[in-house]
Amino acid sequence: MAVDSRSRTSRRTIVQMVVVGTLASIIGVLWGLYIDWFPVQGSTQARKIDDLWDLMIAFAVPVFVLVVTVVLFAVKEFRMRPGEENLDGPNIHGSTKLEIVWTTIPAVIIFILIGYAATILSDIEAAPANAAQELKVDVYGQQFAWTFKYTGADGKPINTTRLYLPEGQSVKFNVHSKDVIHDFWIPAMRMKIDAVPGVTTSYRITPIRVGSYPVVCAELCGLGHAVMRQTAYVMPPAKFNAWLASKSASAAAPAAGGGGSAAAAPAAIDAKAIFTKGNGESVACGSCHQLAAAGTPAGGIGPDLDKVLAGKDAAFIKTSIVDPQAEIAKGYPPNVMPPNFGQTLKPAEIDALVQYLVKSTRK
Ligand code: HEC
Ligand SMILES: [Cu+2]
């Protein structure tokens, strides 16, 4: 094609661009809305946040298509042909009309998105009508586990590493950190906030679906970051209240027993299960430690217990579990093994675990 034929083809090119761009936008938007981007919607907040996402897709895909279409057609239409090597391009002056159009349209789009996002933000952060009924949970991040603190019926604190939540009730999390910056995230609930040392941050959710959902740390916080994963259990309110009541009652009992309860509950403790899965409150040892007897794999963050515990006595093992900082295994990092096994495991469970480790690593 010669230079002077361009003006004759330009109208046809524009029509082609509009047709291709419109089709690609329609397909792209439908596709974007069809894809299941996120886990199930576990909270009222999740629905609203996903609606915002859909609106962003509806605007972002056509903008992307517009840019790509113009670039591709420009390459096709204005590429250099043989014989044009020494030609200058046409001398173009500014176009006020174009400038106004391409400033106004993005500005309008941005104001629509800002307006909608601001409404959603104030919606999802709003306190419930009946603020007194809101459940408050303190969340503590610590390398490398979350601890959740409730207030029992008797006003005493209840600590657990499992997050229990009542369905249909607003919950406010006050998030703290005991060491470095963590980030408290339940993907199914969509909300997420940093746990910053010395600062209390917060957000609220209203769970809408009974079930169990992963709780993760979303801020790289050290070697054990990847294992900083727990579970949130959403249950019917009656069941939740029963759990809270049972915790308030039993929390007092072991304290009265004075910790010397190893003899009180002899059988029925499955030490291997505590090692591989945890007891429901505690983090699984096997996620960091290799142990042949438990079948846990090599390559964890912690030492291979078959090797390091050979010939070690029960007292050493017990101290290693309840006070990991007392002695740091050579070649391994400090502050990685969770320091809270003394709280998350019952004394009888610790003793059973120690016996299990002594037996399993004896040569
Ligand atoms: C997040 C990872 C992680 C988890 C979970 C974990 N540990 Fe550890 N553990 C470590 C690391 C790292 C060390 C080495 C540093 C140290 O001694 O504190 C260690 C050290 C130890 C030691 C001392 C080894 C030595 O030679 O000094 C024992 C015993 C031990 N862990 C047992 C357990 C048991 C039992 C559990 C479960 C109740 C457990 N660990 C859970 C990471 C972990
Ligand atoms: Cu973390």
Domain boundaries, the chain: 9-80+97-125, 133-257, 271-361
pLDDT in tens, 86-122: 888 778 888 899 899 999 999 999 999 999 999 999 9
Does residue 53 register a pLDDT over 90? Answer: yes
Predicted pLDDT of residue 1 = 42
What pLDDT is stored for residue 9 in this prediction?
Answer: 65
Q: Is 288 in the pocket of ligand 1 (CB under 6 A)?
A: yes
CATH top class, domain 271-361: mainly alpha
Q: Using a 6 Å cutoff on CB, does residue 308 contact ligand 1?
A: yes
State the pLDDT at residue 65.
Answer: 95
Q: Is the CB of 144 under 6 A from ligand 1?
A: yes
Residue 2 confidence (pLDDT)? 45
The model's confidence at residue 8, banded by pLDDT at 50, 70 and 90, is low
Task: Please tell me the chain's helix, strand, coil percentages from 3-state DSSP, rounded to the nearest 5.
Answer: 45, 15, 35
Q: What is the mean pLDDT of the chain?
A: 86
Taking the C-alpha atoms of residue 66 and residue 100, their distance in angstroms, rounded to an integer, is 17
**Structure confidence at residue 250 as a pLDDT band (50, 70, 90):** low
| Nearest ligand for residue 291 CA | 1
What pLDDT is recorded for position 342?
85
How many Å lie between the centroid of ligand 1 and the Cα of residue 225?
15
Which option is the CATH number for 9-80+97-125: 1.10.287, 1.25.40, 1.10.3470, 1.20.120?
1.10.287
pLDDT (tens digit, 9 = 90+) per residue, 310-330?
Answer: 888 888 999 999 988 888 888
Distance from C-alpha of 137 to C-alpha of 149, rounded to nearest angstrom: 6
pLDDT of residue 114: 96
pLDDT of residue 196: 96
Least reliable range by pLDDT among 8-12, 60-64, 220-224? 8-12
pLDDT in tens, 123-162: 999 888 888 889 999 999 998 889 999 988 788 888 888 8
Task: Please tell me whether residue 80 adopts helix, strand or coil conformation.
Answer: coil
Closest alpha carbon to 314 in 260, 265, 272, 350? 350
Strands 171-177 and 135-142, by their bridges, are parallel
Structure confidence at residue 87 (pLDDT) = 82
Q: How crowded is residue 231: how many other Cβ atoms within 10 Å of its Cβ?
A: 14
Please identify, by atom number, the ligand 1 atom nearest to the C-alpha of residue 227: 1
Confidence of residue 52 (pLDDT cuts 50, 70, 90): very high
What percentage of the chain exceeds 70 in pLDDT? Answer: 92
pLDDT, one tens digit per residue, over 59-73 is 999 999 999 999 998
What's the pLDDT band for 296 if we cut at 50, 70, 90?
A: confident
Give residue 85's pLDDT: 83
Q: What is the pLDDT of residue 23?
A: 95
Q: What is the pLDDT of residue 14?
A: 87
**What's the rounded mean pLDDT across residues 272-292?**
86
Residues with CB under 5 A from ligand 2 (ion): 182, 217, 221, 228
Regarding the beta carbon of 339 and ligand 1, being less than 6 Å apart is answered no
CATH topology of domain 133-257: Immunoglobulin-like (2.60.40)
Residue 227 neighbours by CB under 8 Å, 6+ apart: 144, 283, 287, 288, 301
Q: Has residue 187 got a pLDDT over 70?
A: yes
Nearest CA to ligand 1 atom 34: 285
Region 262-280 average pLDDT: 72
Cis previous bond, 144, omega within 30: yes
SS3 127: coil
- Of all residues in the chain, the percent with pLDDT exceeding 90 is 49
